[in-house]
């Protein structure tokens, strides 16, 4: 039988991490720099910052 994986619950820590990623992205840091500061996966940083790419181009 396969074990069911539980969905990770969003916590206040996750929310604050996402806000930090947004602020660092708006400040102009690269994704690699943000990943080092926040300490999470590059995939997570990229998934958040892709929404702000359109704002920076204007």
The average pLDDT across 31-37 equals 96
Domain of 43, in residue numbers: 13-52
The model's confidence at residue 35, banded by pLDDT at 50, 70 and 90, is very high
Task: Compare 10 and 2 and report the one with higher pLDDT.
Answer: 10
In a domain, 6, yes or no: no
Q: What's the pLDDT score for residue 21?
A: 96
Domain count, the chain: 1
Residue 41 in contact with residue 17, Cβ under 8 Å?
no
In a domain, 1, yes or no: no
DSSP class per residue in 19-58: HHHHHHHHTT--HHHHHHHHTS-HHHHHHHHTTTHHHHH-
């Amino acid at each position: 039988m396969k074990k069911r994986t539980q969905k990770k619950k969003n916590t206040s820590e996750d929310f604050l991490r996402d806000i930090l990623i947004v602020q660092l992205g708006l400040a102009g840091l690269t994704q690699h720099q943000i990943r080092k500061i926040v300490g999470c996966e590059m995939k997570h940083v990229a998934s958040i910052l892709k929404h702000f790419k359109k704002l920076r181009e204007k």
